[in-house]
Amino acid sequence: MAPPYLLLLFPLVIVLLFLLPASQASPPVSLQGCKNECGNITIPYPFGFEPGCFREGFRLVCNEYSNPPRLFIFDTDYEITDLDPDGEMQILVTATRACYDSSGRYISGTKTSIDLESTPYRLSISNYFFAIGCPNQGFFVDRAGNYVSGCVSACPPTHYSLDDPDMSCTGVGCCASPIPTSTWLSYYEPYAKWVQLQDFRSLRGTDPTIFSNSTSCTYVFLASKSFNFDNSYLSRINDFKVPVTIQWSIRSEGNCEANRLRTDFACRSANHDCYHSKSLAGYLCSCADGYEGNAYIPGGCQDINECELKDHYPCFGDCENTIGNYTCNCPRGFEGNPRTIDGCRKKDTFTLALKIVTGASVGAFIVAFACFWLYLGMQKRRLIRTKQRFFEQNGGLLLQQQMSSFKTTSFKIYSKEELEIATNKFSEERVLGRGGHGIVYKGTFEDGTIAAIKK
């Protein structure tokens, strides 16, 4: 029996388990209960290889007996090496081979065509058509036998070598041709033709030894742009496989809106986007921005935490995840662009309100200062007028008239300030005498004139 203290801790443990945040489950890839892997390839719905696990037309086959397991398109020998839920797939296809004897007579070969007519797949225009070996006139046709693309691979003259490790598909030993961008093929049939010497007779100066470097076998095939040619292919006499890119879509007539009300509409998850396939008649489904997962499954699109994916959703401030989105702000006390490095700078503490208050205060001070000086000016003018009035009331005008009557004598009337300066503010040291009508001071003016001043 467990100790009593353990029994007391048990309810606490249960409570803590409920309080722990639940980790976000990974978005579903396939339907519930269905296998979603074959070897190292993940198989998202609408693809599948078990009954009830795939949409019609998207059945695959997983050969689990091979090591490692290999994935194929159902009822074909096209091995899948890469499966992109956004409408692309890469398969392996055997190159068409034609081998000849020294006289140019066909002796053996392999013919490979691709037929995707009854499937939701089409050949991608990102593929290139290659012709390897020489002399080799390679081309391919569609189901109606119409020429689609091709090129000619010539042999170099005898003084050139096919062993050059830097050879490329430029027409000598190998050539490449793009597929017309307006062509989306469900059928592909290649041809390799041995080029006869007479085919070149119209070319002036053609070296008859141009065929002396011919290869034993020639190859023609369609391959993705990731295919890398090297001169080892020129000495091959056996079969080999090349990667081919194909596109897939939900085949349907009309646009997304026309299919949205149909019971077989493929976009089943909330928060999905439906868009037209650029390569095929039909549409594709994907999760909307801010979500990830499989839009072909109910509940397949789940919110992503953008704050944990800074490479795709840069945020160098305070990041907060929201449903289908996220917020990114500068830390408290900072401002700027938090989505760029060093985009947040320390916020100016001199806030707008403080700027307004400071500006108003300075303005009020200037107005008050101007009013004060205006007041002083008015007071000074008033004092001058008062002095003038007192001067006139105390016989100043009569004095000026008497002074002007003495035309030969110069008189000058001094201001109070000038008298204070001359007597050093009526200093006791300047007193000359005292009488019943005032005190007499010695005054010395700025021009050196000495006078007796009575106050």
Where residue 450 falls among pLDDT bands split at 50, 70, 90? confident
Where residue 432 falls among pLDDT bands split at 50, 70, 90? confident
Check: CB of residue 279 under 8 Å from CB of residue 124.
yes
The answer to which of 39-48, 127-136, 235-244, 435-444 has the lowest mean pLDDT is 435-444
Angstrom distance (rounded) from CA 446 to CA 82: 111
- For residue 170, the model assigns a pLDDT of 86
- For residue 196, the model assigns a pLDDT of 56
> Looking at beta carbons, which pairs linking 63-70 to residues 24 or more positions away fall under 8 Å?
64/38, 68/39, 68/40, 69/38, 69/39, 70/38, 70/39
Q: At what angle do helices 352-393 and 396-405 cross, to 10 degrees?
A: 60
**Helix, strand, coil percentages in the chain from 3-state DSSP, rounded to 5:** 20, 30, 45
Nearest of 424, 401, 430 to residue 413 by alpha carbon: 401
**Of 17 and 444, more confident:** 444
Answer whether residue 233 shows pLDDT above 70.
yes
In this prediction, residues 68-76 reach a mean pLDDT of: 94
Structural domains in the chain, CATH included, are 88-248 (no CATH), 398-455 (3.30.200.20)
Share of the chain above pLDDT 70, in %: 82
> What 8-state DSSP symbol labels residue 349?
S
Check: CB of residue 271 under 8 Å from CB of residue 287.
yes
This prediction's pTM? 0.67
Pairing of strands 174-178, 128-132: antiparallel
The answer to which of 53-57, 283-287, 421-425 has the lowest mean pLDDT is 421-425
Answer whether residue 54 shows pLDDT above 80.
yes
Q: What residues contact 405, with CB distance under 8 A and at least 6 apart?
A: none
Which run of H or E residues covers position 302? strand 301-303
In this prediction, residues 406-415 reach a mean pLDDT of: 66
- For residue 411, the model assigns a pLDDT of 65
Answer whether residue 7 shows pLDDT above 50.
no
Which run of H or E residues covers position 70? strand 70-73
Beta strand segments in 162-290, E: 174-178, 187-193, 217-223, 241-248, 250-251, 272-276, 282-287
Task: Give the number of residues written for the chain.
Answer: 455
Where residue 57 falls among pLDDT bands split at 50, 70, 90? very high
Q: Is the peptide bond prior to 135 cis by the omega test (within 30 degrees of 0)? A: yes
Q: What is the tens place of the pLDDT at every residue in 160-191?
A: 666 666 667 888 889 999 988 776 788 889 98
Ranked by mean pLDDT, which of 184-188, 254-258, 328-332 comes out on top? 328-332
455 belongs to an annotated ligand binding site: yes
- For residue 154, the model assigns a pLDDT of 86
Map residue 330 onto helix, strand or coil: coil
